[in-house]
Structure 1
Amino acid sequence: MQSKARLVVMVLSFFVIAALVQPCMAGELHNKLAAESTIEQIVKRGTIKVGMDIFVPWAMKNKKGELVGFEIDVAKQLAEDMGIKVEFVPTKWSGIIPALAAGKFDVIIGGMTVTPKRNMKINFTRPYYYTSQGLLANRKMTEGFTIEDFNSPEVTIAARLGSTGAVAAKANFPKARLRLFDDEPAAVQEVKNGRVHAMVGGQPLPAHIASESPDTLKAFGEQLMKEPMCFGIRKGDVDTLNFFNNWIEIVRAKGWIDEKYSYWFESTQWKDQLQ
């Protein structure tokens, strides 16, 4: 009987100790994860590293060689509100998600929209704005075309590699031939030179480019795909996701995002700044 009593006491003691130790271990783990979060590392470093690619009007070079654009303003305002500096890390779009995962920078702020395929590799914040894809065509090659006429095996359409413009082109014009380029300027040049019939790109690029060369190019008004724009961050980082989500809510509520979007997407006042 005594041995059984001792066994019962030992078992109960084990569970009591486990119950006391488990919260301590959980607390230590929580503190460790919080200390290792990207947002904590950014604060300690005093600089946020932002991955982006060059494309109009999200991020461009002005006449002084400085980065300007909608996403540049967003990233600068984020850094200012955090009381830190911002460092931009230009990265080819096709490799921007692997670069984020590899720790080359802290966050993607570069007109990135959410797709299931991308979301399997990285996490996304809530949307801070929405964009759409549009069609820019060579006027001579597509004379008399309606939007439906581009869905033909005789038509070649360009898009940027790894972009949702390429997704929109496949979805809207599955019968057309698709050519992919590392950046949008190269795709636009192919349209201008008549080597492709059209290109699909994020608005307002098609409308702006067409307005510069109305005799050569034409923009179609149809919205090919509406998409939410979000920050991209590495997986498993709840604290960083929480901070960015709350910051987005604050600046949207103040109307700051709408103001910047209107300037960069609905006006051309900024064009004389560019190289």
Structure 2
Amino acid sequence: MKNKLLTLVSSASLLALSSGMVNAGTLDDITKSGELRACFDAGYMPFEMKAKNGNYIGFDLDLGKLMAKEMGVKYVPVNTAWDGIIPALLTGKCDIIMAGMTINAQRNMRVNFADPYIVVGQSILLNPKLEGKVSSYKDLNSADYTVVSKLGTSGEQSVKKLLSKAKYFAFETETDAALEVANGKADAMIYDMPFISIYAAQEKDKVSSIIEPFTYEPLGWAVKQGDPDFLNFLNNFLRQSRGDGSYDRIYDKWFKSDTWLSQIK
């Protein structure tokens, strides 16, 4: 019995060790390649965007560059369609997802998340004709209204969960969805507060908004499951960057200033 028990314990230990060795090598891979490859989906203001000169810019891009600098490697942006961004990570096309991704249970079953690096929520981009008539997301939960969002996002999940009575249409990009409201083809768009706030300010003659978020949504960087060393690095990087002020400088650049708008318009 003792021999059998020892054999089982030894086998389990070897299996756990071998599994850890297979799954926990991202930091080693980054060091060997000299590159930090970060997946994102350009178009989510101010997190990731394509500038007029063709370069990618944004809050997530600057955080990724800072992270790569601290690692001593090159930052490599990997622009990826949103519906394929988790598969891209899992198949090794990038090392990390830095894309304003909301932490939720369904995604967490496929990837691991570092501690939240920012908290946002869903806001409402509104057709101006509904000002005074719609004051809450609850008012939109009616077959009388057409609501839009971006495919595969927490905005879409919020519509399906909280606005099930409304007519809903999904779009490949947040800009296309917002244009439906701006052009009067949709009554409202449900999407992350930063995007709604910036878009409403840019198109104030065409849209209205209800900026106060009606959901709580922490955003996190996603990595492959079974990689505790990488998660440990990310959480400590976040603490350090917040502690030394570098995070705040990047945050203020993208969320407390609009000078960057000239780069995309």
Same-fold status (TM-score > 0.5): yes
Mapped to 1, the partners of 2:143 and 2:16 lie a distance apart of 61
1:71-106 Cα shifts (integer Å, max 9, x gaps): 000110000000000111111111111121111111
Instruction: Kindly state the Cα deviation for residue 190 of structure 1 after the two structures are TM-superposed.
Output: 1.0
Q: Is the contact made by 1:172 and 1:224 (CA closer than 8 Å) also made in structure 2?
A: no
1:113 to 94, 102, 111: 102
1:33-83 Cα shifts (integer Å, max 9, x gaps): 179611111110000111100111111122211111000001100000000
2:41 aligned with 1:45, yes or no?
A: no
2:119 aligned with 1:130, yes or no?
A: yes
Mapped to 2, the partners of 1:179 and 1:265 lie a distance apart of 29
1:264 to 248, 251, 254: 254
Q: Is the contact made by 1:60 and 1:67 (CA closer than 8 Å) also made in structure 2?
A: yes
The root-mean-square deviation of aligned C-alpha atoms, in Å, is: 2.6
Q: Which residue of 1 aligns with 2:59?
A: 70
Q: Is the contact made by 1:128 and 1:257 (CA closer than 8 Å) also made in structure 2?
A: no
Instruction: Kindly state the Cα deviation for residue 204 of structure 1 after the two structures are TM-superposed.
Output: 1.8
Q: Is the contact made by 2:147 and 2:167 (CA closer than 8 Å) also made in structure 1?
A: yes
2:251 aligned with 1:253, yes or no?
A: no
Instruction: Kindly state the Cα deviation for residue 236 of structure 1 after the two structures are TM-superposed.
Output: 1.2
Q: Which residue of 2 aligns with 1:88?
A: 77
Q: Which moved more, 1:86-95 or 1:202-211?
A: 202-211
Q: Which runs of 5+ in 2 are unaligned?
A: none
Q: Which residue of 2 aligns with 1:196?
A: 186
**Other structure's SS at 1:48 match:** strand
Q: Which moved more, 1:169-178 or 1:85-94?
A: 169-178
How many percent identity over aligned positions?
34
1:160-187 Cα shifts (integer Å, max 9, x gaps): 1111111222333232122111110110
Equivalent residues, number = 260
Q: Which moved more, 1:199-208 or 1:120-129?
A: 199-208
TM-score, normalized by length of structure 1?
A: 0.85
TM-score, normalized by length of structure 2?
A: 0.89
Larger Cα-atom Rg: 1
Q: Which residue of 2 aligns with 1:145?
A: 134
